C-alpha cells in the first residue's frame, strides 16, 4: 500500500490584537493617536490558530457582536453593541442551543426580561431584572422535560412569595438559605 501523504504545515497562529481604553472612554491600539476601528482578537490558548475572543470596534467604540468562541469555533457568548451602547447578551450550550438571552441597559447591566434554556432547547426559566440587576417580579422555572419546578414573586432581589415549587426545588432553595 502507498504511504499516506504528509500533513500540510501547521496552521499559523492568530496574531492577537489588543486595545487600550483611555480616559476619553475610547479604545486605541497601544501608542495610536486615532480611535481604533477593527477587531480586537485573542487566540485560543490550546489552538492558537483559532479565535477565542473577538471584539469589534468602530471609531473606538464596541460595535456589533463581541463574541467568545468554544474550541470548535461555535459561539459561546455574544454581547451586542450599537456604537458603544450595550443592547443584549446571549450564551449558547456546547451543542449550539441557546443557554440564555437578556437585555442590557446603557450601563452594561442586565435589565428587563431574562430567559434561560436547557441544553435540549426547553425553556428553563424566565424572570425580570430591575436596573440594579436584581430579580424583580415573577420568576418561573421548568424541568428539561417542561414540567413546572417553581413560581416565585421577587421584589428588588428578595423572595416575597412562593406560588409553587416542587419538593426538590424547595430543598435547593432552603440549602441556599433563601
Strands 137-142 and 148-155: antiparallel
pTM: 0.84
Per-residue pLDDT tens over the stretch 30-74:
999 999 999 999 999 999 999 999 999 999 999 999 999 999 999
Reported as half-sphere exposure (CB side, CA atoms, 13 A), residue 105 has a value of 11
Enumerate the H helices of the chain as residue ranges. 167-175
Tell me how far apart the alpha carbons of residues 159 and 137 are, in angstroms, rounded to a whole number: 10
pLDDT tens digit sequence for 118-177: 999 999 999 999 999 999 999 999 999 999 999 999 999 999 999 999 999 999 999 998
Cell of 99: 443557554
Amino acid at each position: 500500500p502507498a504511504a499516506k501523504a504528509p500533513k500540510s504545515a501547521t496552521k499559523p497562529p492568530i496574531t492577537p490584537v489588543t486595545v487600550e481604553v483611555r480616559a476619553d472612554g475610547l479604545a486605541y491600539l497601544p501608542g495610536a493617536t486615532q480611535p481604533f476601528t477593527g477587531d480586537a482578537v485573542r487566540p485560543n490558548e490550546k489552538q492558537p490558530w483559532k479565535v477565542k475572543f473577538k471584539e469589534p470596534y468602530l471609531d473606538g467604540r464596541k460595535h456589533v457582536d463581541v463574541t467568545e468562541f468554544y474550541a470548535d469555533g461555535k459561539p459561546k457568548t455574544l454581547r451586542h453593541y450599537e456604537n458603544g451602547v450595550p443592547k443584549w447578551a446571549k450564551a449558547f450550550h456546547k451543542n449550539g442551543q441557546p443557554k440564555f438571552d437578556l437585555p442590557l441597559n446603557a450601563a452594561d447591566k442586565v435589565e428587563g426580561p431574562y430567559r434561560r434554556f436547557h441544553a435540549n432547547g426547553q425553556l428553563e426559566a424566565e424572570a425580570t431584572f430591575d436596573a440594579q440587576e436584581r430579580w424583580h417580579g415573577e420568576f418561573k422555572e421548568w424541568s428539561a422535560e417542561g414540567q413546572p419546578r417553581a413560581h416565585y414573586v421577587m421584589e428588588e432581589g428578595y423572595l416575597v412569595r412562593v406560588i409553587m415549587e416542587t419538593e426538590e426545588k424547595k430543598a435547593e432553595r432552603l440549602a441556599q438559605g433563601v
